[in-house]
Amino acid sequence: ERAAHRDSAAQRFVLSYFNRRNIQGSNAFTADRTTTSASVVELNTEIRSEFLTWDDEAVSVSICGAYSYTGNLGWIATGLGIDGTTITQQQDDIANGANDRLGIGLSVAVSLSRGYHYVTLLGYVQTAGNTATWYSSDAVSTSKCRTWVMIRG
């Protein structure tokens, strides 16, 4: 029996080699995500945008949303990761007050090998034990953390 093809916003697994077109994918957090880690972590796998790509096409990946820091003053970072916890592009911010909400906007075009890949949101804090939160709703402006991918196939 043949397996069903998966092609949804979160999993772009159907491509055409000869009739290529732009295909967009995205995914988002369903709950606020936090970390107290001073080293890079993937906040939750649910935000991954998974996709297939050809090795002769550039892929555009991005993340957006908002995060905050619990405390009076602190440094926090959000990273865009492709296929793991190595940061491809990073945004650093200093929160000036407790729960100061900061916007996230990272985007990059990359060339990848043919096959399966994913983009994810990574984060960490300057001092272990301090807490940073990445948001899952648009309660204040466009705060929902989301990953995006644009492929051709």
- pLDDT tens, 4-29? 567 899 999 999 999 999 999 999 99
Alpha carbons 69 and 135: distance in angstroms, whole number: 11
In the chain, the percentage of residues whose pLDDT exceeds 90 is 70
Residue 35 has a pLDDT of 94
Whether residue 37 is predicted with pLDDT greater than 80 in this model: the reply is: yes
Band of the pLDDT at 72, cuts 50, 70, 90?
low
With b for 16 or more beta-carbon neighbours within 10 A and e for fewer, the 68-86 pattern comes to bbbbeebebbbbbbbeeee
**Distance between CA atoms of residues 48 and 44, nearest Å:** 8
pLDDT at 141: 58
Q: What is the pLDDT of residues 74-117, one digit of tens each?
A: 788 999 999 999 999 999 988 776 667 889 999 999 999 999 99
pTM above 0.75, yes or no: yes
Give DSSP secondary structure letters for 29-88. -SS-EEE--SS-EES-GGG-EEEEE-TTSEEEEEEEEEEEEESSSEEEEEEEEESSSSEE
Cα within 13 Å of Cα(106), Cβ side: 25
Query: For the chain, what percentages of helix, strand and coil (3-state, to nearest 5) are there?
Result: 0, 55, 45
| pLDDT score, position 1 | 39
Instruction: Looking at mean pLDDT, say which of 69-73, 79-83, 130-134 comes out highest.
Output: 79-83
pLDDT of 3 over the 60 cut: no
Rounded Cα distance, 126 and 76, in Å: 6
